[in-house]
Structure 1
Amino acid sequence: MKRSFLSFLVDQWSVVPPVETTDLSGKTVLVVGANVGLGLEASKHFARMQPARLIIACRSEAKGKAALTEIKQETGYNGCELWIIDLANFASVTAFADKFEKEGGDLHILVMNAGILQPVYQSTTDGWESTLQVNHIATSLLSLLLIPRLVAAGRNSSTPSRLVLVSSGVHHYVKPTKEVKTSSKPLEMLSSAEWCIPEHMHSRFFESKLFNLFFIRALTDRLQSITPLSAVAVAPGYSYSQLRRFWYEKPTFSFVRIGLAIQERLLAWTSEQGSRQLVFGAVGGRDNEENMKGGYVSVSRLVEVADFVLSDEGHKMQDAVWNETIDILSSVSDKIAPIVQDYLVVPDSSTN
């Protein structure tokens, strides 16, 4: 599918479907990146569905506590918990997963919403370019580490669990270079000094959202069909969020900031409207669960991904990103290899 600017405008000016609702009694929901914007609004929607437990995972304890108060005040829900995680630090991610293994129990819905848009190079303490680590590598790490809890919940429930990754429609506009497309280690290449120059960094967020989609599709290819877990990618649409705060926080006058403000006023959905896509990915489409597996949600419906993702080149790059990601994560946590061995299979080369 090719996505034109006109189709983007049509979506942004369309009426956003109402939020999907269901009864979450007895279920545990975890939203990562929930203190502001889309994650906070999605958490409010989940709270209104009365889950047994709603865990919001945030980097900042102060902002997380403020979110807890806001959720309680607006929904009346008392079961919300704050857990701390920093995706820019692998040790924080593995510690979070260890804590969940001990205290979390079964996990019915996992929404991986945390992400950053960092247009200038910044390295994490783990040595990776920050956008790649937060948006893809650490997001994949936590998702895989929590698969045993998701599968356990699906087996003990009448419905499969859901893993929701927040991708974006911007994946349509990614045009990887030949060097990146054919590399056996595209992540290492993109994180190198050569590929973190300003000329390349402007597309880094777009690339990370493509990798989110690759992860969901590659994971689905490797999950046995009988596994009670559906992995879904969602595009929240162009919405008000904290992603673009890099430009708004600059103390000096900026034409980019003025342009963004005008663009948002004309096109952006509210954070609440954008959050409806996260909720749909988590609880929608239950009447056709097989189609939701590996699906891509936009405007509260399953839509086709970009042509590049469906192409032979796209499939090869998806496999390269998956293999490199697993290699990276296996060096971060000794639990990754057993999870891959116990819960995933070698995909059929005849299917994509």
Structure 2
Amino acid sequence: MPLAFCTIHCSVFAMGTMTGSFVRQVTAKPKPLPEEIHFDGKTAIVTGANIGLGLESSREMVAHGLSRVILGVRNVESGNIARNTILASSPKCDVEVWEVDYESFASIMAFGARASKLNRLDIAILNAGIKVMEFSQSKTGHEKNVQVSLPYPSRTAINHLGTALLSLLLLEPLKRTAEETGAPSRLTFVTSEVHFWTPFNEKNSASILARMDEEDSFNKSDAIERYSTSKLLGVLWTRELAKKADEKKILMNCVNPGICSTSLYRADPTPGIGLLLKLLAWSPAMGAHTLTNAVAYHDGKQGAYLSEQRVTSPSAFVVSAEGEEVQKKLWDETIAVFREEAPTLSSQIC
């Protein structure tokens, strides 16, 4: 399809509209990393790396010379299968499988402690996530979409709290590596364009996270709303964390990988979802190109929101004055949760 046609349609069908999202699925195809991009000598952590975008982004980076990749997975057995898949085409890479359960703060902290002992950590892609279409709670007691971001049910804490906690734990090894190499490390969060599509009714509550843990806050007539809200929390967290970080040491961004045919949709009973994926979805490998693009490019774009492999604006709410205030509130609430529920962590990061 001619580039001019893609450019016209991508601009006419605005970011954040469902029609625009569908059109761009057809007109904007992610491109793989060019041959001149190399990750020689570098170490990367990728969560949710046993399947889908996590696995494919790991494979692509390894194909471009990555020396070591750590696959953060909930199921070690499936992680080992993914490891063998990578080694089959790239036998010289050091591929490690580390267990991490986003529904358990103890598991996340153990993973972070292990990462702190690495001799270097150049790249972290936090991709693990879930899409739960009914109210359910994680092991920590938080609503699953909020708790994780893994492809398994858990509280709002999964899509937000789990990722937020791990991001804090990885700051030290990422910063240390940047200081030793003289180049910024990369921290990329996988989010979604659906963050545009939530009314975010909880934003005016006395406590956003506490309200989202209450069952009557879950919109059963529009179950996708909670997932969309959890992705909005991810964008807000990325921007606030980026404000507190030195971009010369850790460059952070969040990326919308588009609609991809992955296991994320396995719990989605939406009528016609199968046909929609068949007609519009990118393959996991194509979606993974957006993740590898995020860690290879966009220097100087701290806290950027990326879609179709370019920097673009997140939702109008995110960039509004109200959004910035809610962003700060979410930060404070999240840190408060960690201080209460992961008390041994407070001396390290909070």
TM interval, short-chain normalised: 0.7 to 0.9
The corresponding residue for 1:92 is: 107
Summarize deviations over 1:217-239 as a string: whole Å, max 9, x none. Answer: 001112245x5111110000011
The corresponding residue for 2:232 is: 210
The corresponding residue for 2:265 is: 244
Residues 234, 278 of structure 1: 8 Å contact kept = yes
Pick the aligned partner of 2:85 from 64, 70, 89: 70
- Is the deviation greater in 182-191 or in 164-173? 182-191
C-alpha displacement at 1:96, in angstroms? 1.0
Residues 100, 107 of structure 2: 8 Å contact kept = yes
Structure 1: which 4+ aligned runs deviate by more than 4 Å? Answer: none
The corresponding residue for 2:97 is: 82
Which structure 2 segments of 5+ residues have no match?
A: 1-13, 149-158
| Residues in 2 aligned to 1:9 and 1:100: alpha-carbon distance in whole angstroms | 38
> Does the alignment pair 1:11 with 2:24?
yes
- Is the deviation greater in 153-162 or in 231-240? 153-162
| Residues in 2 aligned to 1:320 and 1:57: alpha-carbon distance in whole angstroms | 29
| Residues in 2 aligned to 1:127 and 1:262: alpha-carbon distance in whole angstroms | 35
The corresponding residue for 1:348 is: none
Residues 29, 55 of structure 1: 8 Å contact kept = yes
The within-5 A match list for 1:141-156 is 141-156=165-180
* Alignment RMSD (CA, Å): 1.8
Other structure's SS at 1:302 match: strand
Residues 184, 324 of structure 1: 8 Å contact kept = no
The corresponding residue for 1:347 is: none
Residues 136, 211 of structure 1: 8 Å contact kept = yes
The within-5 A match list for 1:130-209 is 130-134=144-148, 135-177=159-201, 180-196=202-218, 198-199=220-221, 201-209=223-231
Pick the aligned partner of 1:107 from 121, 127, 131: 121
| Residues in 1 aligned to 2:206 and 2:332: alpha-carbon distance in whole angstroms | 9
C-alpha displacement at 1:100, in angstroms? 1.8
Pick the aligned partner of 1:300 from 300, 304, 309: 309
Residues 131, 208 of structure 1: 8 Å contact kept = yes
Q: TM-score, normalised by structure 2?
A: 0.88
The corresponding residue for 2:47 is: 32
The corresponding residue for 2:33 is: 20
| Residues in 2 aligned to 1:150 and 1:117: alpha-carbon distance in whole angstroms | 29
The corresponding residue for 1:59 is: 74
| Residues in 2 aligned to 1:209 and 1:118: alpha-carbon distance in whole angstroms | 12
Other structure's SS at 2:38 match: coil
Which structure 1 segments of 5+ residues have no match?
A: 248-253, 341-352
Higher relative contact order (CA 8 A, sep 6+): 1
Q: Could you tell me which amino acid in structure 1 is paired with residue 141 of structure 2?
A: G
Q: TM-score, normalised by structure 1?
A: 0.87
Residues 123, 130 of structure 1: 8 Å contact kept = yes
